[in-house]
Amino acid sequence: MFQDVLPTLCFYEVSDGQERSDSSGSFSNEKEADFVSFMIECLVSAGVDSSSIGVITLYKSQMYTILAKLGTSR
């Protein structure tokens, strides 16, 4: 279904976000995390197995922000 529409690897620009650093020097961006969690929720709602979805982020703080948003959406 989505495999026929979306490419295996996607890049999206979220231009209205603001980077913030935490005490460890790791960065997060709330708007980007909102977008990623929205995309994941859409894919899962459309029937894509969550184990088939991968998100690459360079910062632990961003990973934790995305995980927190996914946790509060369920």
What pLDDT, on the 0 to 100 scale, is given for residue 30? 93
pTM: 0.80
DSSP helix/strand/coil, 19: strand
**pLDDT (tens digit, 0 to 9) for every residue of the chain, 74 residues total?**
556 677 778 788 888 888 888 888 899 999 999 999 999 998 888 888 888 888 999 999 999 999 999 986 55
Q: Are strands 19-21 and 27-29 parallel, antiparallel or unpaired?
A: antiparallel
Instruction: Find the length of the chain.
Output: 74
What pLDDT, on the 0 to 100 scale, is given for residue 40? 92
Compute CA 57 distance to the chain's CA centroid, rounded to the nearest angstrom. 8
What pLDDT, on the 0 to 100 scale, is given for residue 23? 85
**Runs of H (alpha helix) within the chain:** 30-45, 60-72
**Token pair belonging to 40:** 């994941």
